[in-house]
Amino acid sequence: MPIQKNKTKSVKQARKTQEFDGVYLLKLVLYIILGSMWLKVGNGDGVNISLPVGLAAGLIFASHEHFRIDRKIEYAVLLVAMLVGYLAPYGLFISY
């Protein structure tokens, strides 16, 4: 009988640690939004400096996250979103 109780506890713990698909999707969307944020600073002469502030924030969030998906996937999503965010014409532009 003790073997049965151990199996029951391990099944309950496995169910408790599983995440819902919606939570997984929400995290991926969060990483896409964070990774695509760039800060572009430039003067009127056409000299621009681009800083990936969203990537830095996403990496900090991924390293301190309580509910973890595979970190390799998190980092890959952040990097792809960073490249798309650099090429897309949206973001925060500061001109001086």
pLDDT tens-digit map of 16-33: 556 578 888 898 999 998
Distances (CA, A) of 57 to 34, 53, 54, 82: 7, 6, 5, 12
Alpha carbon distance, N-terminus to C-terminus of the chain: 75
Which DSSP state fits 42? E
pLDDT tens-digit map of 33-91: 888 888 888 777 777 888 889 999 999 988 887 766 678 888 999 999 999 988 887 76
Residue type, 46: G
**CA dihedral of 57, 61, 63, 68, whole degrees rounded to 10:** -150
Domain boundaries, the chain: 18-95
